Amino acid sequence: MPGAVRVERRDGVVRCLLERPPLNLLEPALIASLRATFVDLARDPSVRVAVVAGSGRAFTAGMDVHVLRDLDAARARALITSLHDAIAAVHAAPFPVVASVHGACLGAGFELALACDVRVAAAGTVLGLPEVRVGVPSVIQAALLPPLVGPGRAAEMLLTGAPVDAGRALEWGLVNRVVAPEALAAATDEMVAAIAAAAPAAVRLQKELIVRWRESALPDAVRAGVEAFAAAYATGEPREGAAAFLEKRPPRWSPSR
């Protein structure tokens, strides 16, 4: 489906806008476009940070139930595998990804937001995993929920399908910031600018570690951190960062290559 994800690039920042208003319901074409977009971006070393947002009234209200209704077991496996591949491409991106969330952020759309590294939400946003209410469990990136909010809160969301509002999401650590709807774009830009101001190679090393920490046992995660620290010194960024600090000036980072 052409144009399912609109990509805008500027100075190393990539904005990926889900273009299926009003609710940006996920269906095979949009899922394929999302995966292709992030597979392509992962090959580009000039990308510093990406933003995922939705057009219309919502970030995304989740899967199109019309698609779910007529599946059999084989087609259900194929669909959820394609969705996993798309959301995994976001989760494993070698650069930070910021979710700019408004309206409904539900089901697979909430899993997409969970796969992002940082979430900025508009007041009035509702977030949740209502799948059990339509006869299926929440899967794939829903597995990130228990370590994020704790097993009890995760169980409540998963077993009842009840959503939480943006204020509760902030209290639980599901989102990083909540702002007035009219301030969402500015707050997202502020978060992006803060990330982009840091050392480019160090940010990519840190993003790689964040993903590995989620997926590794503690000793393996610590060893990966040791290797990343040493690898940073092959980039020249630690020398420039230390010099800038000692000379009381902004660092002059080299462009990503």
As a whole number of angstroms, the distance between CA 237 and CA 75 comes to: 48
Co-location of 142 and 205 in the same domain: no
Whether 252 is in a domain gets the answer no
Of the candidates 93, 21, 51, the residue with the CA atom closest to the CA atom of residue 185: 51
Co-location of 23 and 109 in the same domain: yes
pLDDT (tens digit per residue) in 119-141? 999 999 999 999 998 888 998 88
Note down the domain range covering 122. 5-196
Residue 2 — pLDDT band, cuts 50, 70, 90? low
**Which one of 131, 190, 240, 247 is the catalytic residue?**
131
Count of beta carbons in the 10 Å neighbourhood of residue 83? 22
**Which one of 8, 27, 111, 227 is the catalytic residue?**
111
Residue 126 corresponds to which tokens in the numbers above?
Answer: 């509702």
131 is catalytic: yes
As a whole number of angstroms, the distance between CA 182 and CA 180 comes to: 5
SS3 255: coil
Q: Write the CATH number for 168.
A: 3.90.226.10
Rounded to a whole number of angstroms, the CA Rg of the chain reads 19
Co-location of 21 and 122 in the same domain: yes
**Length of the chain in residues, anyone?**
257
Co-location of 238 and 163 in the same domain: no
As a whole number of angstroms, the distance between CA 13 and CA 124 comes to: 27
Co-location of 181 and 215 in the same domain: no
Co-location of 138 and 212 in the same domain: no
Question: In total, how many domains does the chain have?
Answer: 2
Average pLDDT estimate for 160-170 = 96
Residue 225 — pLDDT band, cuts 50, 70, 90? confident
Task: Name residue 70's amino acid.
Answer: D
Co-location of 210 and 173 in the same domain: no
**Pairing status of strand 49-54 against strand 97-101:** parallel
pTM over 0.85: yes
